[in-house]
């Protein structure tokens, strides 16, 4: 178990289940060192691979989609020959659609009101065939296929149809996906701004929804880390980087809280927590984390300074390499920008 600093780390809770061996532990000096961290580029997703594929890329996909029988024949032939993109495309197309508002339920039987989903290959949905092709893609080392496979197996187990699959297989493929560089987790990021016009001798919390309020103990710990004034909640973003095929990541929700203080002079990159809650206190080009060390992913949190047109932002890097998160205004007294 990770040791937490007694004055700053005590309020952070560990998830009830830690399911992954940390890729590394990120040490950050509590005095607040300038952040230097290189950008991590995750393995390409199916969508990204298809863009450059000579068969399915660009306008070719639309031409193929206009002739479903021929499209299916080409995909099946290439999948049978071992082409990764075709195996993933075939496997994903076989996945029975999931109800929009009924997790693990199958459309349209359990939710006839849901709009009909497109089926470009004209396939009859089948958990078994989806699992067959995704297994072959997973065996080629594709982490996205392994993660989708884990979730499809769980859906098959939870469906009303008889299934021979086991939850141990679900856990195995989740772990396999992480080892292949596809480390999906249930992320929530919340942004706060530090208003220095409040009290100088302590940190207080402005009104915010109950789930985003910090406790007095948390505020005291942040004050001990160098924050004073008024903490204002600015917004949140849940599940950045998810897709309609990846709605059931393993493990509990991970809460990332970012407190934006005096603006940085440039973009700051710091590793995201690996299935552990982390609070980031940013002041200028320095960041203090609570806890001070934590199991970390290779993906990063990006903190971007405000500009004349955009507010300060905190963005999590998704498994596809793209960023999503939340933005909050920076107070004129700390922004370095002219007052309105």
> What residue ranges do the domains of the chain occupy?
24-41+184-335, 46-179
Q: What's the mean pLDDT in 175-199?
A: 92
Looking at the chain, the whole-number percentage of residues with pLDDT higher than 90 is: 67
Beta-strand pair 229-238/203-205: parallel
Residue 166 is predicted with a pLDDT of: 96
pLDDT reading at 18 higher than 90: no
The answer to whether 11 touches 221, Cβ cutoff 8 Å, is: yes
Spatial neighbors of 197 by CB under 8 A, at least 6 apart, are 229, 230, 331, 333
Tell which residue, 194, 192, 268, 190, has the closest CA to residue 33.
Answer: 268
Residue 198 is predicted with a pLDDT of: 83
Residue 329 is predicted with a pLDDT of: 67
Q: What's the mean pLDDT in 71-90?
A: 97
- Rounded to 10 deg, the angle between the 143-158 and 127-139 helix axes is 150
Residue 158 is predicted with a pLDDT of: 94
Q: What's the mean pLDDT in 280-304?
A: 93
The answer to whether 294 touches 281, Cβ cutoff 8 Å, is: no
pLDDT reading at 340 higher than 80: no
Residue 331 is predicted with a pLDDT of: 56
DSSP-assigned letters across all residues of 299-330: EEEEEE---SSS-EEEEEEPTTS-EEEEEEPP
Q: What are phi and psi of 238, to 5 degrees?
A: -105, 135
Q: What's the mean pLDDT in 281-300?
A: 93
Angle CA(245)–CA(247)–CA(248) in degrees, nearest 5? Answer: 120
* H or E segment and range at residue 57: none
The answer to whether 274 touches 20, Cβ cutoff 8 Å, is: yes
Identify the band that residue 5 occupies on the pLDDT scale cut at 50, 70 and 90.
very low
Reported pTM: 0.82
Question: What burial class does residue 13 get, using C-beta atoms within 10 Å of its C-beta: 0-12 exposed, 13-18 middle, 19+ buried?
Answer: exposed
Spatial neighbors of 159 by CB under 8 A, at least 6 apart, are 96, 104, 106, 127
Tokens 């507010």 correspond to 311
* Measured distance CA(85)–CA(200) in Å, rounded: 57
pLDDT reading at 145 higher than 50: yes
Identify the band that residue 41 occupies on the pLDDT scale cut at 50, 70 and 90.
confident
| Cβ neighbours of 71 (radius 10 Å) | 19
């Amino acid at each position: 178990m990770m040791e937490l600093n007694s004055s700053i780390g005590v309020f952070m809770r560990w998830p009830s289940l830690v399911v992954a061996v940390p890729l590394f532990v990120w040490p950050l000096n509590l005095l607040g060192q300038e952040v230097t961290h290189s950008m991590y580029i995750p393995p390409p997703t199916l969508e990204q691979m298809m863009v450059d594929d000579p068969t399915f890329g660009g306008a070719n996909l639309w031409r193929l989609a206009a002739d479903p029988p021929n499209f299916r024949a080409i995909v099946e032939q290439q999948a049978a020959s071992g082409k990764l993109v075709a195996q993933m495309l075939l496997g994903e197309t076989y996945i029975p659609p999931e109800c929009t508002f009924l997790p693990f339920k199958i459309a349209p039987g359990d939710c006839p009101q849901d709009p009909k989903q497109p089926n470009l290959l004209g396939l009859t949905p089948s958990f078994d065939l989806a699992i067959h092709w995704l297994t072959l893609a997973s065996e080629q080392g594709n982490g996205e296929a392994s993660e989708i496979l884990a979730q499809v197996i769980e859906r098959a187990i939870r469906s009303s149809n008889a299934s021979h699959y086991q939850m141990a297989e679900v856990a195995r493929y989740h772990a396999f996906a992480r080892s292949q560089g596809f480390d999906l987790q249930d992320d929530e990021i919340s942004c706060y701004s530090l208003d220095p016009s409040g009290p100088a001798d302590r940190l207080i919390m402005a009104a915010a929804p109950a789930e985003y309020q910090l406790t007095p103990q948390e505020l005291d710990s942040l004050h001990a880390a160098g924050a004073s004034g008024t903490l204002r909640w600015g917004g949140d973003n849940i599940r950045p980087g998810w897709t309609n095929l990846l709605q059931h990541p393993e493990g509990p929700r991970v809460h990332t809280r970012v407190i934006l203080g005096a603006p940085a002079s440039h973009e700051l990159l710091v590793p995201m927590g690996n299935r552990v809650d982390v609070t980031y206190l940013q002041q200028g080009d320095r960041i203090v984390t609570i806890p001070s060390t934590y199991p970390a992913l290779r993906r990063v949190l990006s903190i971007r300074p405000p500009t004349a047109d955009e507010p300060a932002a905190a963005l999590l890097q998704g498994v596809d390499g793209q960023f999503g998160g939340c933005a909050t205004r920076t107070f004129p007294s700390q922004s370095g920008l002219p007052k309105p």
